[in-house]
Structure 1
Amino acid sequence: MDSSSALLVGDLTGVAVFAASGGSAAVGKRLDLFGVVFVGFVAALGGGILRDLVINQVPPLAFADWRYPLTAVLASLAVFWLHPHLDRLRRTVLGLDAAGLGLFTVTSTLKAFDAGVPAVGACLLGMLTGIGGGLVRDLLLNEIPVVLRREIYAVASLLGAIVVAVLVGLGWGSVLTFTGAALLVFVVRITALYRHWSAPRPRLGGGASAESG
């Protein structure tokens, strides 16, 4: 598999995973079939649309390549029909979200490099694309976006993007190493959830100290 094919597979896998995450969250809110598909669709493709507009890939792949919207719709439908078999929807959403975060961070950072974006900008764009799907999903479902809570989320994405940039700079880029970068984001995110790692919070009245993870 050449690099462009691997990038496409990774991107579509990220779309499917984020669509499933959005669909699962929508099922948890008891939305109807259209609502589940809509939330899954927007969660899966929102970050990628932002990325494509920034790197001047117009129209964005979400509209130019039929495989992207089809993947998002099918993944959302699968969650709608299979959700009775998904044990503990919240845990499913968090796991899928972490996987999508890792995949989108890596593929979007690589696409930014391919478009000639410098390393710092590529890392920021990779992070923004990675967190975009979860941000849109939470806003649609009237939840405080995960990225704005004290949990480690955007930091995990940025770490993965930096690892990708280092790999590219050292000439060590391969499907295996980039897969490792995506896995790193996933592991950091899941570990932060289970060990309750968090970013510092502001000091509030009475001399209470900021919490940190």
Structure 2
Amino acid sequence: MTTSTALLFADLTGVAVFAASGASAAVAKRLDLFGVIFVGFVAALGGGIFRDLVIDEVPPLAFADWRYAVTAAVTAGIVFWFHPQFARLRTTVLVLDAAGLGLFTITGTLKALEAQVPAVGACFIGMLTAIGGGLGRDLLTGEIPVVLRREIYAVAALLGSVTVVVLDFAGLTGPAPLTAAAALVFGVRLIALRRRWSAPVATAQPRVGRRPAGGS
């Protein structure tokens, strides 16, 4: 399997798992068939559209290659029709989202590097490719985006992007090293969820009440 074929396979796999993640979230919100497919489409392809626009690859693959849109729509439709089998929707969404996060981090970073984007820029493009679909999914389903919560999400994607850049610098861009990088993102995300790891948040300062006038 060539690198380009492996990249296409990973990209379409990421589209499928993010579409399933988005569709599962939409089903949990009791959206209709069109709503489920639309949310699945945005979750699957939103980050990739952003990536392609940033690296000046127009039209984006989501519109130029029918396989992307069809993969997203078909996957979302399957989730809609067979959602009773997804007994624990929240767990399913989280696992699928973690898998999509890992796959899209790798493909986004690689495509940025292929477009001659410098290492630091490629890391950020890879991270934004990975989190863009989930951001759109959460906004459409009325949830606070995961990337804005305390959970380790964008940090896991950024770690994966840095790993891909280091592997590329070392000349290790074959399927095995890239799969290991995707697994790293996936593992960090799931472990963070299980152990409730979180980024620090600002501590609210208690308001100091005014002393009542008069009296002692």
Residue correspondence of structure 1 range 131-210 to structure 2 within 5 A: 131-206=131-206
TM-superposed deviation, 1:87: 1.9
Cα distance in structure 2, aligned partners of 1:44 and 1:8: 14
Aligned residues: 207
Q: Which residue identity is paired with 1:81?
A: W
TM-superposed deviation, 1:136: 0.2
1:210 corresponds in structure 2 to: none
Cα distance in structure 1, aligned partners of 2:114 and 2:44: 22
Identity percentage of aligned residues: 69
Cα distance in structure 2, aligned partners of 1:192 and 1:142: 23
2:122 corresponds in structure 1 to: 122
2:52 corresponds in structure 1 to: 52
Where structure 1 has 5 or more consecutive residues not aligned to the other structure, the ranges are 208-213
TM-superposed deviation, 1:162: 0.3
Q: Which residue identity is paired with 1:117?
A: V
Cα distance in structure 2, aligned partners of 1:122 and 1:190: 24
SS in 1 for 2:82: helix
TM-superposed deviation, 1:169: 0.5
Q: Which residue identity is paired with 1:76?
A: A
Cα distance in structure 2, aligned partners of 1:163 and 1:87: 35
Cα distance in structure 2, aligned partners of 1:87 and 1:126: 32
TM-superposed deviation, 1:181: 0.3
Give 4+ residue runs of structure 1 displaced > 3 Å after superposition.
Answer: none
Q: Which residue identity is paired with 1:146?
A: V
Cα distance in structure 1, aligned partners of 2:113 and 2:184: 20
1:211 corresponds in structure 2 to: none
Q: Which residue identity is paired with 2:74?
A: L
TM-superposed deviation, 1:48: 0.3
TM-superposed deviation, 1:114: 0.5
Cα distance in structure 1, aligned partners of 2:205 and 2:56: 47
> What TM-score comes out, normalization by structure 1 length?
0.96
Matched, 1:79 2:79: yes
Please list the CA deviations of residues 138-182 of structure 1 after superposition, one character each: whole Å capped at 9, or x if unmatched.
000111000000000000000000000000001122100000000
Q: Which residue identity is paired with 1:30?
A: R
Cα distance in structure 2, aligned partners of 1:18 and 1:8: 15
Matched, 1:68 2:82: no
RMSD: 0.9
SS in 1 for 2:23: helix
TM-superposed deviation, 1:129: 0.5
